[in-house]
């Protein structure tokens, strides 16, 4: 039992008192001497439990409006002393410093204060100084002290001292120390990122406190994890746990559907991060049917997303299809009953939450960071280099196709007609290959491409794509422009009465 330590004294200084009472009562029952400050001291006293004010140890009151309470050698000496070190023990006696065996802290809620929209001074006052110092000191000296660093760990510590009659093993002290440094590093990262909002510093600091272990990664032989607060974005209503690949597809679906937020009912079917079907109609029911018609083969096992409530008629059609995930802002009660008919089908309600402004991915032995592609091609961004201008219907389809193109793997070509995705060529090494793939796929599902439009994620260095498109019946093209040989494509369009518009913005997606 030599690696066990008995908790005979505890310093408690917490922001959240939720769940603290049973812990304090248990410590008192075990005969533990309690030290505390401010509101925590008052809370314990009101429970009728004896508590020693920290000021009685330090002979200093809380000063500077509460900014300095525990920052004193008599406090930190009691935490940091090495009990196996005779010199340390002697100094405790010499300077009348009490031994502290447990430190219980819950930090000021800095992140919540920032998220609340509080002003700068209110945020500054929620930067915890004493608490973070207590955590670091106690965690460093885990050999002799146990550090409880969050309201989330009150109950864990309570169970520990209850089962061990106040004895705590070294392995548990080390486990709590790891949690403590997790808390402190995350807290400091949040503060740094607040101060570095303008990115004046070149350092990248990321910290996600919430995580879940996934069934596996991209393949069954790979481990997989998700770091982030999934519940902030979605309410999960039904189904199995989401997989690594599910999450990637959900991410792609949400980013794509954001382009159609507030529009007429729009439905998309995703497969391997690309839309295999998408349509916009007067009703969500028809939007789903026409999205499915885009590629009913690839839709099997796909991710479905709507920009509006899913009703029972739509749910009955969806229920005929094997799909992994369905996402919508809401569902009618009847729709939910139908969709819950498959026990593993994942049903999600998407909440109104802004996505991060930056995208981060690993690369070689580091990370790549870029701004999210926040530009959506709109009519006011267009230029008209060809003699033939698109009709209103063509212009509407061009912008519709461009939104899909932006969220499709490069190289890509998207074909659309009457607010419906006819087909796309995805992830090809050649833009010509992407176009030929899209045409072949559209024809295989009996789409009439006469009067359809084409969107490209990047410019055409040669006129071959507009020539192939024209011969397939496509009447209008949207592309970034910017090639030194743009004129070749313009000339072909002018000769064959095609309309082409330039957006001036490339939308590569790798």
Question: In whole angstroms, what is the distance from residue 353 CA to residue 155 CA?
Answer: 31
Question: In whole angstroms, what is the distance from residue 94 CA to residue 202 CA?
Answer: 48
Q: Is 510 an active-site residue?
A: no
Active-site residue (options: 140, 174, 340, 443): 140
Q: What are phi and psi of 226, to 5 degrees?
A: -120, 125
List CB contacts of 365: < 8 A, sequence separation 6 or more. Answer: none
103 is written with which tokens?
């430190």
User: 169 has which bridge partners?
Assistant: 4
Tell me the H-state helices in 116-212. 120-125, 130-140, 154-163, 170-195
Run of H or E including 39: helix 38-46
Would strands 266-271 and 302-306 be described as parallel, antiparallel, or unpaired?
Answer: antiparallel
Q: Which long-range contacts (CB under 8 A, 24 or more apart) does 159-168 make?
A: 161/7, 161/26, 161/27, 161/30, 162/26, 164/4, 165/30, 166/6, 166/7, 166/8, 166/30, 166/32, 167/1, 167/4, 167/5, 167/6, 167/7, 168/4, 168/5, 168/6, 168/7
Contact 256, 275 (CB under 8 A): yes
- From 453, 366, 362, 373, select the one nearest 414 (Cα to Cα): 453
Would strands 453-456 and 476-479 be described as parallel, antiparallel, or unpaired?
Answer: parallel
Q: Is 272 an active-site residue?
A: yes
Active-site residue (options: 205, 272, 319, 443): 272
Burial class (CB in 10 A: 0-12, 13-18, 19+), 78: buried
Residues assigned a catalytic role: 140, 272
């Amino acid at each position: 039992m030599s690696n066990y330590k008995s908790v005979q004294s505890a310093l408690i200084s917490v922001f959240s008192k939720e769940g603290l009472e049973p812990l304090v009562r248990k410590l008192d029952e075990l005969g533990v001497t309690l030290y505390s400050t401010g509101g925590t001291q008052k809370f314990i006293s009101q429970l009728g439990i004896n508590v020693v004010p920290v000021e009685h140890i330090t002979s200093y009151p809380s000063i500077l409006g509460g900014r300095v309470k525990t920052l004193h050698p008599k406090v930190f000496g009691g935490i940091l002393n090495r009990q196996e070190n005779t010199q340390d023990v002697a100094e405790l006696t010499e300077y009348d410093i009490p031994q502290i065996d447990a430190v219980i802290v819950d930090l000021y809620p800095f992140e919540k204060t920032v998220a609340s929209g509080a002003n700068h001074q209110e945020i500054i006052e929620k930067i915890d100084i004493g608490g973070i110092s207590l955590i670091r000191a106690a965690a460093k000296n885990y050999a002799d002290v146990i550090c409880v660093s969050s309201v989330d760990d009150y109950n864990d510590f309570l169970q520990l001292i209850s089962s061990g009659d106040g004895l705590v093993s070294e392995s548990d002290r080390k486990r709590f120390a790891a949690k403590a440094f997790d808390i402190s590093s995350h807290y400091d990262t949040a503060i740094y990122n607040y101060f570095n909002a303008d990115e004046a510093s070149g350092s990248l600091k990321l910290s996600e406190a919430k995580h879940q272990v996934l069934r596996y990664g991209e393949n069954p032989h790979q481990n997989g994890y998700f770091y982030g607060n999934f519940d902030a974005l979605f309410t999960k209503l039904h189904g199995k746990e989401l997989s690594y690949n599910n999450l990637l597809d959900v991410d792609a679906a949400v980013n794509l559907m954001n382009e159609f937020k507030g529009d007429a009912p729009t439905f998309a079917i995703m497969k391997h991060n690309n839309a295999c079907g998408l349509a916009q109609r007067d009703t969500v029911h028809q939007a789903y049917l026409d999205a499915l018609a885009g590629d009913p083969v690839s839709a099997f096992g796909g991710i479905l997303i709507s920009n509006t409530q899913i009703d029972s008629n739509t749910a009955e059609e969806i229920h005929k299809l094997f799909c992994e995930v369905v996402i919508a802002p809401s569902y009618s009660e009847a729709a939910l009953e139908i969709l819950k008919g498959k026990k593993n089908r994942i049903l999600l309600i998407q909440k109104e939450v802004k996505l991060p402004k930056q995208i981060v991915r690993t690369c070689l032995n580091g990370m790549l960071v870029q701004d999210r592609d926040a530009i959506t091609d709109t009519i006011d961004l267009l230029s008209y280099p060809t003699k033939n201008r698109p009709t209103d219907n063509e212009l509407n389809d061009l912008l519709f196709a461009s939104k899909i193109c932006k969220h499709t793997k490069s190289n890509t070509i998207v074909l659309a007609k009457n607010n419906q995705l006819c087909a796309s060529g995805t992830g090809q090494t050649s833009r010509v290959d992407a176009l030929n793939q899209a045409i072949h796929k559209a024809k295989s599902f009996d789409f009439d491409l006469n009067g359809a439009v084409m969107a490209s994620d990047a410019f055409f260095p040669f006129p071959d794509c507009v020539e192939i498109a024209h011969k397939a019946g496509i009447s209008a093209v949207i592309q970034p422009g910017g090639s030194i040989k743009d004129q070749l494509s313009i000339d072909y369009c002018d000769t064959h009465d095609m309309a082409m518009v330039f957006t001036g913005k490339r939308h590569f997606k790798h």
